Amino acid sequence: MALEKRWDELLIRKEVKTGDFVYTPAGVVHGVEGKMLMAEVQQSSDVTYRIYDYDNVDVNGKPRELHLEKALDVVTIPHEEPMVKPQITEHGQNEIQQYIDNAFFRITKYGIHEAECIENETYSLCLVLDGKGTLITGEATYGIGAGMSFIMTSNAKQYTIDGNLSLLVSEPGMVKGE
């Protein structure tokens, strides 16, 4: 079907709404269409195969390069829907949702309504999804708000988030037993 460009028969379209979490493991054909803001977390890789580009063209009016043959060598067939069951815990007034915790990365969403101290084992990539508050690390305090992102380096073994906001935190995974 891919070689015959029968995309409407081949691809599965999913409706998404604000706050949805979609897990797409390596080897799963995926794309984004329409207007949305998304955070894509992935293991370090410099390989992306483009198999379809919605008939878009580059600044010169030419179709962008496709990599259909290479993609067919690594795509997961048949498609298996990944099972993701977030582990939800409450810590005081805060809700913590652990979406993924595997050898490659860990993704956690914090619903902050009171000060929350977060442990930082290696480093963390943080994105404020909505709301506003403060980031406290060491002696420094910073105002943070929706759309802002920051990196907590390995020098900060812990940091505190306070306010009324949602924070997405991505960390490198840990191979069990390390």
Return the active site residues.
50
The CA distance from 157 to 120, in Å, is: 5
Structure tokens at 15: 């409706």
**DSSP symbol at 147:** T
Query: Alpha helices, DSSP H only, in 50-116?
Result: 68-74
Confirm if 94 and 114 have CB atoms less than 8 A apart: yes
Q: Where are the beta strands (DSSP E) in the chain?
A: 87-91, 94-101, 105-112, 116-119, 124-137, 140-145, 149-152, 158-172
Position of tokens 């420094």?
A: 140
Confirm if 141 and 167 have CB atoms less than 8 A apart: no
